[in-house]
């Protein structure tokens, strides 16, 4: 795929600059040359057809031929997933699937029953961001999914509750209303629990923060499956997967 990323500050007056990493991919992997066409997205939803002008050791210069539609359109649903961190590499496995499903923002959460220790937080988050970046390039999205720093559930609930015009939904294996109780939100923050589920205090805290507690009946899903399945359900019901 001749598709590359350049941040908005590197796209100006019809000129685009690729950094050293993208230059290596263009030059050494795809073996492109000056004069050839490449496609560049800016992470904010914009995509450009470009012509390669100059390939250096640490950067590549291109000129914009025209603005084009990204291969994958963005959903009308502004979806944030706040999910408990899973043991092993399960969170990292879920991240690219969330990108493919059109999630805009991912917040890794520490909850009471998380079976993980928050060590090497910066390294883990940075790795997830790299995974999301590569997934965006491959699936055709021109918007990068934001991955925030690891936070505890209480802080996350309070922060999301302060945002205007967002519907908060906590998916729980018990004590919730049916999915049909939801209306038609355009901005959703969905909270997904750990492998051991939410404890009673967390469910009560979510309800007090204004979140709708929802229980999906009929299926028992592992936590990593739930992240993908619930994102798909929300995009089908309120977004563009229909």
For residue 203, name the pLDDT band (cuts at 50, 70, 90): very high
C-alpha pair distances (Å), 55 with each of 2, 17, 160: 15, 10, 44
pTM, full prediction: 0.91
Share of the chain above pLDDT 90, in %: 77
Q: Is the pLDDT of residue 239 over 90?
A: yes
Residue 73 lies in a domain: no
pLDDT for position 32: 96
Q: Are residues 101 and 54 in the same domain?
A: no
Q: Among all chains, which residue has been given the structure tokens 């291109």?
A: 62
> What is the pLDDT of the chain when averaged over all its residues?
92
Residue range(s) defining the domain that contains residue 218 = 78-238
Q: Are residues 54 and 86 in the same domain?
A: no
CATH number for the domain including 214?
A: 3.40.1280.10
Question: Are 9 and 59 in the same domain?
Answer: yes
pLDDT level of residue 189 (50, 70, 90 thresholds): very high
| CATH classification of the domain holding 19 | 2.40.240.20
pLDDT value for 174: 84
- 149 has pLDDT over 80: yes
pLDDT at 118: 66
What is the residue-wise DSSP string for 143-198? BPPEEPPPEEHHHHHHHHHTSTT-EEEEE-SSS-B-GGG----SEEEEEE--TT--
Core vs surface per residue 40-78: b (16+ CB within 10 A) or e:
bbbbeebbbebebeebeeeebbbebeeeeebebeebebb
pLDDT at 206: 94
Q: How confident is the model at residue 29 (pLDDT cuts 50, 70, 90)?
A: very high
Q: What would the pLDDT profile of 102-140 be if each residue is shown by its tens digit?
A: 999 999 999 988 877 767 677 889 999 999 999 999 999
Q: Which two tokens stand for residue 125?
A: 């988050």
Provide the pLDDT for residue 157.
Answer: 95
CA dihedral 217, 152, 84, 132 (to 10 degrees): 130
pLDDT at residue 134 in the model? 94
Is 11 inside any structural domain?
yes
User: What is the pLDDT confidence band of residue 49, given thresholds at 50, 70 and 90?
Assistant: very high
Same domain, 59 and 99: no
């Amino acid at each position: 795929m001749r598709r590359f990323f350049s941040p908005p500050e590197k796209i100006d007056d019809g000129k685009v600059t690729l950094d050293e990493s993208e230059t290596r991919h263009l030059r050494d992997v795809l073996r492109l040359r000056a004069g050839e066409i490449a496609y560049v997205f800016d992470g904010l939803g914009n995509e450009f057809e470009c012509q390669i002008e100059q390939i250096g050791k640490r950067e590549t210069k291109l000129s914009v031929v025209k603005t084009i539609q990204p291969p994958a359109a963005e959903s009308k649903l502004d979806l944030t997933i706040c999910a408990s961190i899973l043991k092993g590499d399960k969170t990292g496995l879920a991240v690219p699937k969330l990108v493919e499903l059109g999630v805009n923002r991912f917040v890794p959460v520490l909850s009471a029953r998380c079976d993980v220790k928050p060590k090497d937080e910066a390294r883990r988050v940075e790795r997830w961001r790299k995974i999301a970046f590569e997934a965006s390039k491959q699936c055709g999205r021109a918007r990068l999914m934001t991955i925030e720093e690891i936070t505890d559930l209480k802080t996350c609930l309070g922060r999301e509750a302060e945002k205007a015009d967002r519907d908060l939904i906590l998916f729980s294996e018990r004590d919730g209303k049916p999915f049909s109780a939801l209306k038609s939100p355009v901005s959703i923050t969905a909270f997904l629990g750990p492998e051991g589920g939410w404890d009673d205090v967390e469910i009560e805290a979510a309800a007090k923060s204004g979140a709708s507690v929802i229980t999906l009946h009929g299926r028992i899903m592992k936590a990593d499956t739930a992240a993908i399945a619930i994102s798909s359900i929300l995009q089908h019901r309120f977004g563009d997967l229909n």
